[in-house]
Structure 1
Amino acid sequence: MKLSCVTFCLLFLFLSCNKDVNETMYVSGKTINCPGVIEKECLQIKYSLEEDYINFYDDIEGFQHDKGTDYIIKIKRTEVNNPPADDSKYKYSLVEVLEKKPTPTALEDGSWLVVGIVGFKGDFKRDPLLSLSPDLNQVSGSTGCNRIFGKIITDKNKLSFQNIGTTKMACDDNGLETQMLTVLEKTVSYKITENVLLLEDGDGNVILKASNIDRKE
């Protein structure tokens, strides 16, 4: 059935006036203080995985943001007619939460108490410790026997230990030091989950676990 001229014109007018757009938005679990007339905490958002996060100054109606949780959400963006001078030209509202998961923790300066090393079944007579300084590309700490020192290289979740040296004290450690140094040589990546550092080999296997501690080496 053909549309009458009047019906066609009304349909065209409706479609042309419909200013709602649905978009997928990635929301970081971290916020940032935004400059402005009134200082506020802004969400960090992006519209694709390949983009960098940017400050989001507006509110999303119906969306409850929890720090420490990353979200993928579907939002509706509506153009506002004649908004006030200092207001956004868009209104945002939540359509659906597609996914949420804990925010990955970045590797920052700090110390990690080693609590597990693959291939070592004995007791830690002394506490092995890794103190990492990504900005300086340095690592120090202890194997549970000798002090260690060397260089680290990081790139996103990639991590490698280089030029690792130790002091030369003899210890009865049931092979802990040897195994720890072997594990550091095999490390190619890391992840941090609930303040636990996991070092991984080239196959993605976890080969060392360490808990975050406040003290520095």
Structure 2
Amino acid sequence: AAAKIIAEAVRTSLGPRGMDKMLVDQFGDVVITNDGATILKEIDVQHPAAKMMVEVAKTQDSEVGDGTTTSVIFAGELLKRAEKLIQQKIHPTVITEGFRKAAEKAIKILEEMSIKSGIDDRVGLKNSAMTCMSSKLVSESKDMLAEICIEAIIAIAEKSENGDWVADIDKVQIQKKEGESIDDTSLIKGIILDKEVVSPGMPKIAKDAKILLLQSAIEIEKTEFDAKL
């Protein structure tokens, strides 16, 4: 029952007409989101079955980065159907085996339906990126953001031994700055050092600058005196 309640909590946030949730924590901080993983992270869950559903969302988020709400709702439906089968005196082992066979069949069907998109297929990559953002708060800027995502992926993509292109997204650093519009988002093909300037009088922009990399500090150290009497 607890797991089904968790699934119902995020059900209304799914799809193009999904609604955002307003979450208020114990400190009064407000979070507005329709992302399943974010919603479940903010909920204080104690029941073991409910915690399992939260872990489903976390795993989906870390492995794929999307589809958290769908995975939780789908898991909730499986549990609902399993409950009916148990009421019909069907052993849990039989139900589990049935789910496993269904999963194998579903994976096979999805592989047959899937369309392989290479790194040169910018249209396919862009459509995939825009689809992921259609239900998010950034949907109005999805065209521009999708282009940035594609440029970032192409910049870090490497060909694996079997000929497939692989992109390690850990090589992409995302920096957030308050005060600007989301349309001011840009891709920098380089390194960002998010540090404050030492002095207000220092120049804000330096073009074609020479960069010095040091392994030791350059501040002036005070001389230590060790006097003994």
Give the alignment's TM-score, normalised by structure 1: 0.20
When normalised by structure 2's length, the TM-score is 0.19
Q: Which has the higher strand share?
A: 1
Q: Which fold has the larger relative contact order, with Cα–Cα distance below 8 Å and residues 6 or more apart in sequence?
A: 1
Task: Name the structure where helix makes up a greater proportion of residues.
Answer: 2
